[in-house]
Amino acid sequence: MVGSGIAGLTAALRIHAADPTLHLTVVTKDVLAAGSTQWAQGGIAAALGPGDTPEQHEHDTLVAGAGACDVDAVRALVTEGPDAVRELIALGTQFDHHPDGELSLTREGGHHRDRIAHAGGDATGAEIQRALIAAVERAPEIEVIQHALAVDLLLAADGAVAGLTLHVLGEGQHDGVGAVHCRAVVLASGGLGQVFSQSTNPSVSTGDGMAVALRAGARLRDMEFVQFHPTVMWLGPDSQGQQPLISEAVRGEGAFLVDDEGRHFMQGEHPLADLAPRDVVAKAITRRMIETGKPHMWLDARHLGPAFWEKRFPTILRVCREHGVDPVTELIPVAPAQHYASGGVATDLWGRTSVPGLYATGEVACSGVHGANRLASNSLLEGLVFSRRIAEVLPGELRAWAEPTVDSRPEGLVDGERRRPVQEAMTSRVGVLRNATGLAEALDLLGTLDPGDPEVEPAAWETTNLLAISTALAAAAALRTETRGSHWREDFPDRDDTRAGHIDSWLDDGTIRVEWTPAPSTDPSTTPAVTA
């Protein structure tokens, strides 16, 4: 298992439960809790509330995905989701409950029902991570290697997984590259937020799993569908790296967006106004920023009052105050920032990639559930459901131990100092609003980047990964000549269902190739929402 968030630890626990004789190793780049799961605020979506059904959850997921979802994957997500969440509760996760003992469920953008389970108010991910780590600690047979960056897969002569090289970030003589010989690898290493200058993702999200898969010959899918969260606290024009998220759940509880003149500009934009799907809100904010020349808009949540803020959003309240804004009495400055990769390593319904023995789950994967725009709070659920699915098939599919062959893949390590130019090219030209000129410039900048004189160190591996992933993303964005979901083209402003389908990227002798495969749109929004 590469990665230790909800996807990686669920896969480890479930595979261990399925076959306790297997030797399982979880490798993680930092400490177990350092990934994106820990930072998830809003919660986990599942049809658990009175009157809600998997069919309604499916409908909302398909509408948000703007025609690019895989219906079978979405069906697996929504039908297996409720049991998966119940299992998380049985494992010890303490979700918030009403005084009468009922699970407290809230609403976020794009959902027509209250179906988001949350914990500690706005600390859902931290509580899930705590419970999963505790469960792994109760299973000492699962080996855990922390501070180990996955560098590359070792491949057998037939191209199947034979092992994994790691850069272990120990001290002194323990720091260096080593290898694990294994029969299968599950990538659960999270997203690629650090491709952009501002992201809600933690610093570990450098697209490592996607780059490892790419170099091993796997296909990436729909990389252009990067979700920009509409309400990320704006900290100033020069702020870099992980930025504070103001959960959509704050709008779910009644907060609303206003411009500098106090105009509630989401009204009239969409029937769900401030709770429209995330891409709609991010686009409306960006449009208003362009129209007014302002670097951000405002979120007004003052009417929620101090007691509600303290109980429901203690983390966001603290973080806002640490940055000098008191949301109880002041407006919060917000602007869209990178939040989630809806694309990733292409998998089937059981997490299998195109490389035998390589599986992927969670944000690193493209299972097909998110399409062009992930529905809020579906990501933790995806990690849970698809890791459970991998655990169902992987033990029975293990191949014989194989010797790794000599690695003939082209080398191309990039100096860690090159991270900023990569991020600047991506942020300025492949961000919320894209066009052909900017995308071509980005591809040119990335393609001609001087790799420098890299030391063999983690910063260089990460920057190499960022460059590979950025190139795949920009190339896919250039090929998708339409606006769909979170992919917004200034020069192709409309959705074009003759362009529905998927864009795959892969490495061909060191060069990224991209290819569009048509598929019918899966957006049911022309039919009415399902109600019980």
C-alpha angle 192-228-116 in degrees, rounded to nearest 5: 95
Q: Choose which of 249, 297, 320, 460 interacts with ligand SIN (CB under 6 A).
A: 249
Stretch (H or E) spanning 181:
strand 175-181
Of 474, 415, 411, 409, give the one whose Cα is nearest residue 449.
415
Looking at the DSSP assignment, which residues form a beta bridge with residue 513?
Answer: 506
Q: Choose which of 61, 197, 367, 377 interacts with ligand SIN (CB under 6 A).
A: 377
Between 243 and 379, whose beta carbon lies closer to ligand SIN?
379
Least distance in Å: CB of 43 to ligand SIN? Answer: 7
Least distance in Å: CB of 442 to ligand SIN? Answer: 25
Residue 87: is it exposed, middle or buried by C-beta count within 10 angstroms (0-12/13-18/19+)? middle
Using the rule CB under 6 A, give the single segment among 15-23, 242-250, 261-269, 283-291 that binds ligand SIN: 242-250
The answer to the question of residue 463 lying near ligand SIN (CB under 6 A) is no
For the question of residue 183 being annotated catalytic, the response is no
Three-class SS of 413-432: CCCHHHHHHHHHHHHHHCCC
Return the residues of window 436-455 that contact ligand SIN according to CB under 6 A.
Answer: none
Return the residues of window 255-294 that contact ligand SIN according to CB under 6 A.
Answer: none
Binding mask 89-108 for ligand SIN (x = CB under 6 A): --------------------
Least distance in Å: CB of 252 to ligand SIN? Answer: 9
The answer to the question of residue 127 lying near ligand SIN (CB under 6 A) is no
Binding mask 33-72 for ligand SIN (x = CB under 6 A): --------xx------------------------------
Answer for the pair 227, 484: CB distance below 8 angstroms, yes or no: no
In angstroms, the CA 77 to CA 515 distance is 27
Binding mask 304-343 for ligand SIN (x = CB under 6 A): ------------------------------------x---
Between 104 and 379, whose beta carbon lies closer to ligand SIN?
379
Q: Tell me 119's DSSP state.
A: S
The answer to the question of residue 376 lying near ligand SIN (CB under 6 A) is yes
Least distance in Å: CB of 376 to ligand SIN? Answer: 4
Between 41 and 522, whose beta carbon lies closer to ligand SIN?
41
In angstroms, the CA 373 to CA 386 distance is 18
Looking at the DSSP assignment, which residues form a beta bridge with residue 155?
Answer: 161
In the bound complex, which residue of the shown chain has the CB atom lying closest to ligand SIN?
42
Q: Choose which of 127, 248, 363, 504 interacts with ligand SIN (CB under 6 A).
A: 248
Of 146, 148, 49, 164, give the one whose Cα is nearest residue 97.
49
Least distance in Å: CB of 39 to ligand SIN? Answer: 9
Answer for the pair 411, 510: CB distance below 8 angstroms, yes or no: no
Tell me, rounded to whole angstroms, the distance of Cα 420 from its chain centroid.
21
Helix axes 6-18, 379-397, angle to 10 degrees: 30
Between 316 and 445, whose beta carbon lies closer to ligand SIN?
316
380 to 10, 85, 176, 349: CA distances (angstroms): 11, 10, 33, 17
Give the ranges where 120-222 is alpha helix by DSSP (H): 124-137, 208-215
Question: Can you point out the beta strands (E) in 137-174?
Answer: 143-145, 148-155, 161-169
Least distance in Å: CB of 249 to ligand SIN? Answer: 5
Candidate list 278, 480, 489, 499, residue with the active-site label = 278
Taking phi first (over 0 means left), then psi (-120 to 50 degrees means alpha), and beta for anything else, what does residue 205 get?
beta
Q: Choose which of 342, 353, 361, 379 interacts with ligand SIN (CB under 6 A).
A: 379
Least distance in Å: CB of 248 to ligand SIN? Answer: 3
Least distance in Å: CB of 319 to ligand SIN? Answer: 13
Using the rule CB under 6 A, give the single segment among 70-78, 371-379, 400-408, 491-499 that binds ligand SIN: 371-379
Site residues for ligand SIN per CB under 6 A:
41-42, 247-249, 340, 376-377, 379
Which residues are identified as catalytic? 278
